[in-house]
Amino acid sequence: MQETPREAAGSKSSANLRLLPGFDELPEPILKELQAIVVRRSFEAGQTVVEADAPSRFTCIVRTGILRMQKDLPDGRQHIVGILVEGDLFGRVFNGNMHFSIEAATDAEILAFPRAAFEALLLRSPELDRLLLLHLLSELDRARDWMIILANPKVRGRLAGLLLLLCTRLQTVDHLVTVSGRAVRVRIPLSRPDVAHLLGTRVESVSRALHALADDGLLDIVRPDLLEIRNLQALTEEAGEPDLADTASLLRLVKAMRKSAD
């Protein structure tokens, strides 16, 4: 983890670890040991959290904000390969360095566990080991979904897929996803260039695709960073990934839309 001015001000965390996804199922002694070693660190938007290929000294969890995972390409460009949101765990354990960098896309706060101490707890706690495994499996599922979305030949299809993933992943993050009448309001926490990098296209193409989806009645553009999705089912068809419509989080949104409309 790169030393930064705000990281240098890191302090022992008073955060309740039981509020983190899955941590409420850990035995009380393990929770106390984790609480004793965790450090809370803050980063401003644009600051580097982890440098590519640097030794991984911490295992971390995103407490607030959005992080972007980036890979340097041979031609000097940076490609965003994914995002991390509240509750996501990152950092290698037991071996190896991370092969991509992590930067703060927004102001963010993380909870950092020294790697050696965290690994020792993993060896003694099957419950913590299971929690880490579930995080890794969820990450693999998201990676598979993202590969399908990026395979869509149309920018508007890839954009639709990104919006669906944001709907599923941001429902509990800083009220970025809310239901208003028959629409789902999504506040986009990424800049337009970040979205373009994620989709492997240009900013102008993202803008055209967004307006095309609006012209077809799938969504309304309230402002550049705020959208109202009118038809989740049509958006899944546009993305070419119908399985996304059956995820529990999207089904909850559909149910909430119907209830709000009534």
pLDDT digits (tens, 9 = 90+) for 178-204: 887 778 888 887 888 888 888 889 999
Question: Residue 8's pLDDT band (boundaries 50, 70, 90)?
Answer: very low
Amino acid of residue 135: H
Question: Residue 122's pLDDT band (boundaries 50, 70, 90)?
Answer: very high
Q: Is the pTM of this model over 0.85?
A: no
- The pair of structure tokens assigned to 10 is 């890191």
Average pLDDT over residues 132-144: 84
Average pLDDT over residues 240-262: 59
Please, are residues 128 and 214 in contact by the beta-carbon 8 Å criterion?
no
pLDDT at 256 exceeding the cut of 70:
no
Which of 100-123 are b and which e, b meaning 16 or more Cβ less than 10 Å from the residue's Cβ?
A: bbbbbbbebbbbbbebebbeebbe
248 vs 250: CA distance, rounded Å: 6
For residue 42, give the nearest of 73, 22, 24, 67 by alpha carbon. 67
Domain parsing of the chain, residue ranges: 5-131, 147-261
Average pLDDT over residues 13-30: 84
113 vs 118: CA distance, rounded Å: 6
Reported residue count of the chain is 262
Question: Residue 259's pLDDT band (boundaries 50, 70, 90)?
Answer: low
Which of 32-46, 86-100, 195-209 is the least confident region?
86-100
Which CATH number is associated with domain 147-261?
A: 1.10.10.10
Q: How many helices (H) and strands (E) does the chain have?
A: 9, 13
Between 110 and 76, the higher pLDDT residue:
110
- Coil vs helix vs strand at 214: helix
Which CATH number is associated with domain 5-131?
A: 2.60.120.10
Amino acid of residue 253: L
